[in-house]
Every structure is written in C-alpha cells, then in structure tokens.
Amino acid sequence: MKVPEGAKQTKYKTTFVCVKNGVEKEFDENNYPYNDTTWVFKDSRQEILEQGYEPPIHDFSITDGETGEDLTQQILDKKGYTFLLVAPYLETADDSNFDEINHIYEYAKANGYAFYGLTASTEKGIGHWRDITGAEYPFYITDGITLKTVIRSSPGLVLLYQGTIINKWSQNDLPTAGRLNAPLSLIQEGHEPENHTWMKIVLIIICYILPLILLIITDRIWAWTQWVKKREEWVKQKEQSNRLYQLIKRKRQMRKKIVAGNWKMNETLQEGIALAKEINESLKAEKPNCDVVICTPFIHLASVAGVLDSGIVGLGAENCADKEKGAYTGEVSAAMVKSTGAQYVILGHSERRQYYGETAEILKEKVKLALANGLKVIFCCGETLEEREAEKQNEVVKAELDGSVFNLTAEEWKSIILAYEPIWAIGTGKTATSDQAQEMLAYIRSIVAEKYGKEVAEETSILYGGSCKASNAPELFSKPDIDGGLIGGASLKAADFKGIIDAWKK
C-alpha cells in the first residue's frame, strides 16, 4: 500500500477462528497453529487497530514486504503476460491445489511470463505457505480489502497483459494443464491483448497510407476538375471559332465577287463598242456567278453604256479628276463620268501613280469626289518588286490605304472595292502565287478590320490584279480572301475575259 508521506499507515488485527473436536478457538498471526493440523480453519476477521491512510479502491498498490519498495508501476508496466496469485491470507489458504499453482508457475517460467504472489499476510504467513507448498515465486504485499475486490469473493489467479487484467480464475477453477498448453485460451474473450504488429500496421495506415490516399484522391479530383474546366473552355473556344468560321463563310458568300476589266489605253471607240457588245452578249447568254464590270477609256464610256445591259455588266472609268470642275484642260470630272451612265471608277492604279505622279493626297481628293458623285471606287494598291524583295509590301500597301481611303466614314467605305495589284506582276506574265496573293489580301482585310471592324472587313470585296488569266483564275479565286480579279490584258478579248468570269462557277 502506498502511504502518502506524513500519513500514518492503517493497522489491522486479523483473527482466525479454528475448530478442534467441536471447540472453537481464536488465533492471531502470532499464535496461529501452523504446525498443528488438528485445528481446522473456520473463519477469519479483520479489525482496524489504528485508522490511518485509506487508499481509494483504484489505488491498487503492490509492495515488496522486505524492502517496502512500491512495485506497482513496475509490475503494471511489464511487457507481455504476468500471473498474479491472489491469496489475501496465506495462513488460511487452501493448500489442496498448490500442485496446480506450482504447475502454472512452471508454465509461466518456461514461457518467460512473470508470476507473483500477492498477499496481505505477514512474513510468517508467507513462510508457512512456502513450507507447505515449496513455492519459489516471490510474494508481495497488497492491502487485503483491495485484494478481495480484485478477485471478488474468492482468491485465485489473475492474468495481466501489459498492466490490464485479461482473465482471472477462482481458486477452485484454476486453468488446467490442457488450457495452459493452448495459451490463447487463457485470454478471456473480449480481452485479447493488443497485437502490436496489427496496431503498427493500423497506425501506418492511419498516419501515412490514409493521408497519402486522401492526398492522391484530392490531387486526382483537382486534376479532373481542371481537366473538365479546360475542356469546357476548349469546347467554348471551339464553338466560338466555329461560329466565327460560319460567320466568315456566310460573309464570304455574301460579299460581292467581282471580275472587273481594265482596258487601259486600248481599243478605238468602234473596237471598244464591239468588245463591250460581245461581252454583254456572252454574259446574257450565260449568267455570270459574279458581278462583272468593264472599265474603259473616257471616250468609250457613253457609247459602251448604250450597248451594255446594266443588270449584267457594270461600267466604270479608269480615272477621274481630283478637281470638281473648271479650267483643268484635258481632265474629266467624277460628275462627268457619272453622267455617262458609268457606276465605277478605278483610282490609284499603279500606272497612274507611276507615270502621272498621282500621290496619296491627290488620290484622296479623287476618291472623295468619286464617292460624292455616287460612283463606286475600285481602289488599287500594291508594291514594286524592290519593295517586295525588301519585304516592305505590307508597309507600302498600308501607307497607300492610310493616305487615301482610311479617312472615309464607315458609310462611305461601303462604296469601296479594293484591288491589290503587285506592280511586278502587272503585264509581266509573272503572277503572284495564289498563296502570296491570299497572304496579302488577308493582311489587307486585317488592316481594314482594325480600321472599320471585323464585320465591315468581312463585307469588303478585295480583288487581285496582275497577269490574271482563265488558267490561273480558279486557283486564285479559291483562296478565302480573294473576291475576284482586276484584269488588264485578258479583258480585251471577250472569250478570255469570260473564261476568268467562269472561274467563279468552278
């Protein structure tokens, strides 16, 4: 019993009642007739001589009787199994089963299990027990009442596993040799000792594997949500680009496809009228799949207008003055052009820029007057060979448009048709490849989009000009940004011109 420092230990007096020849007699620990077997033990009583420290019932303590050392924790902390033989009063203990007890002790020893006797008896009582049983196991002291509560009514054997009672037997029902040979049967159901291997496995699972699995699951869920998000974005983008593609396709189908002839300074009046008639007749016979325009010298305009079916072939001039009217000898104003019945005028042709010094400023004036007079403008742009070789084609074309037409309002822009004519391809027989032409026209459309918006750009007709003939027209016109051609040499023969027009049917 662990007595707090300064507290007195409770002192007991134990009285043993024995019977001999029907006569009862009381003995105490000092005069108990250990060696006189004629006295038969009947009962024991314990009375408190001096009240001292009373340990609470859970304050179970085991003390070494000789040294007074408290061994409780040491025994409870013991690893593995520990047998405790509980015999409160060895003076009166039943020695009929000491063989069984010795057998269990041998079994414990052989298996490396601890085995201790716990008693409330004095050294004398312990000595008596050793004498009659030959016990070799150590006896430690524990309070008698506490011991009784350990085993309840009758003393016996307790089996501990690492400080926890996992089974107990009364004196009359000690485990037999057979049960001892199957040690697991010693363990009361529901009191299995903890299996450390399993506990370690469970601990590893709880501490490492489970968090890892959770982490992996979380990571996978996160990755999946990201994938779903990305896919949704991708689907959205795809839908958007599909919509845009459809829109562009629709716009392309909607925007005017045009084949325009530029006669330049060719054909007498009579020849011109005949050519115009021939073109008109062939297109009347076989409706074109595009708008057709012929642009003639000024002097042809009025006469050609008379032979053309305006619903089939449009008419345009090749130039107009940069002045409204007045003393400008040799010039022809936009109003005069319009008055012939013409609906179009070509402006900014490279030959006019090159040979007649038409600057961006002059062209800006011409465009303004042409539009003011209700003419549609076929505005030309394009780079020289040197400029292309220096890779300045984009820069040159942009400057030409910037200088003469990008000042127009969106409303005015509706009357503009652009024609990209690389100077190095005009009348040289050296056509730009369809890819080169497409690349430039796509660029021109992109700068129109920057200026007037995508929608307007998609509605703007942009033509290619420069050695365009019936043989290369289908390939050129198959490109998404090429909306037709401005034709020089090949527009002077009705059949050649028709061949180009027919490229839109392929």
Least distance in angstroms from the C-beta of 320 to ligand 13P:
16
How many Å apart are CA 360 and CA 364, to the nearest integer? 6
How many Å apart are CA 172 and CA 21, to the nearest integer? 27
Q: Residue 108 corresponds to which amino acid?
A: A
For residue 258, give both structure tokens. 């045009």
**Residues 397, 400, 401, 402: is their CA dihedral positive or negative?**
positive
85 phi, psi to nearest 5 deg: -90, 115
How many Å apart are CA 153 and CA 170, to the nearest integer? 9
* Long-range CB contacts (within 8 A, 24+) of 172-177: 172/97, 174/97, 174/100, 174/101, 174/104, 175/104, 176/100, 177/103
How many Å apart are CA 454 and CA 493, to the nearest integer? 37
Measured at CB, which residue is nearest to ligand 13P?
488
For residue 475, give both structure tokens. 């390939």
Q: Which CB, 91 or 291, lies closer to ligand 13P?
A: 291
Task: Report which of 350, 343, 339 is spatially closest to residue 258, judged by C-alpha positions.
Answer: 343
Q: Which CB, 146 or 262, lies closer to ligand 13P?
A: 262
How many Å apart are CA 171 and CA 137, to the nearest integer? 17
Q: Which CB, 80 or 427, lies closer to ligand 13P?
A: 427
Residue with the two structure tokens 């025994």: 75
Query: If DSSP codes are grouped into helix, strand and coil, which group holds residue 329?
Result: coil
Least distance in angstroms from the C-beta of 379 to ligand 13P:
12
How many Å apart are CA 440 and CA 380, to the nearest integer? 13
Q: Which CB, 18 or 317, lies closer to ligand 13P?
A: 317
Least distance in angstroms from the C-beta of 492 to ligand 13P:
9
Q: How far apart are the first and last CA of the chain?
A: 115
Least distance in angstroms from the C-beta of 229 to ligand 13P:
53
How many Å apart are CA 109 and CA 267, to the nearest integer? 133
**Do residues 184 and 98 touch, judged by C-beta distance below 8 A?**
no
For residue 118, give both structure tokens. 């716990």
Among residues 91, 400, 421, 458, the one annotated as catalytic is 421
Residues found near ligand 13P in the complex (CB under 6 A): 262, 349, 421, 426-427, 465-468, 486-490
Among residues 349, 358, 383, 387, the one annotated as catalytic is 349
Question: Is 349 designated active site?
Answer: yes
How many Å apart are CA 232 and CA 321, to the nearest integer? 58
β-strands 376-381, 344-347 pairing: parallel
**Residue partners of 310: CB distance under 8 A and separation at least 6:** 341, 343
Query: If DSSP codes are grouped into helix, strand and coil, which group holds residue 380?
Result: strand
The CA-based diameter of the chain, rounded to the nearest angstrom, is: 172
What phi-psi label fits residue 154: left (phi over 0), alpha (psi between -120 and 50 degrees) or beta? beta
What are the start-end ranges of the H helices in 10-97? 72-76
Least distance in angstroms from the C-beta of 304 to ligand 13P:
17
Least distance in angstroms from the C-beta of 292 to ligand 13P:
15
Residue with the two structure tokens 């061949």: 499
Question: Is 58 designated active site?
Answer: no
Q: Which CB, 156 or 488, lies closer to ligand 13P?
A: 488
How many Å apart are CA 145 and CA 153, to the nearest integer? 11
Residues annotated as catalytic (active site), given as ranges: 349, 421
